A = this chain, B = another copy of it.
Amino acid sequence: MDPDNEHGHVIEVADRLFYERGIQAVGMAELRREVDLPLKKLYALFPSKQAIVFAVLDRRHRIWTAGLQRRIDDAADPRRKLLAVYDYLADWFAEDSFRGCAFINAFGELGSQSPDIAERTRAHKESFQQVLARLVADAGGNPALGPQLALLAEGAQTTAAISGSPEAAQQARQAAEILIDAQLRTAPGSV
């Protein structure tokens, strides 16, 4: 395995472990065992556990955001683009490995101790707000709609994680339809 792959492999494995069991619950010894690298090499690739945590979160953000954008791009019109957000959530919640938003989890676990994690969480959520704001603006909708749709999405993530059931995505989607139809230029139910 060349160095680049080793680097990426560590991040992938760490992501899975951190997401499944929490960051503090996974030790460097266990990560070392799972990636099958000597500790020395692990510390040659990353200066500290914290650096791995940051790399994991940054990768999560990129993958999640890209997946969302793909869903949005595939939708035909503004209304469907907004609703595509909840279809994306539905697919995510249905994954066996789903255990909530990794950023919310990390924030709850370490946000009060690590300003860097708090800041990354804020940036991730802010980026989501921007995506929605842009979609709402493109559709000529009331600017208040973006944050409202974001609340539904955030609530669905925590509710699905805690309840262990994916139905929150559909509930959020139905609520979103009502909010959209009430505040978008598109005539209600026209799509």
Contact = CB atoms under 8 A, between A and B. Distances in A.
- Copies of this chain, count: 2
Interface string A89-114: 00000000001100111111111110
Contacts of A186: none
A171 B155 contact: no
Interface in A136-179: 144, 147-148, 150-159, 161-164, 168, 171-172, 174-175, 178-179
Contact of A148 (B22, B103, B112, B175): B175
Nearest to A159: B154
Most-contacted residue by chain B among A100, A103, A106, A159 (CB, 10 A):
A159
Interface in A1-46: 20-22, 24-25
A66 interface: no
What is the size category of the interface that chain A forms with chain B?
A: 35 or more
A171 B132 CA distance: 14
Contacts of A122: 162-164
A178 B175 CA distance: 10
Nearest to A100: B108
B162 A148 contact: no
22 contacts: A22-B108, A22-B113, A25-B113, A100-B107, A104-B108, A107-B161, A107-B162, A109-B109, A111-B162, A121-B162, A125-B162, A147-B171, A148-B172, A151-B159, A151-B171, A151-B172, A154-B158, A154-B159, A155-B158, A157-B158, A158-B158, A182-B182
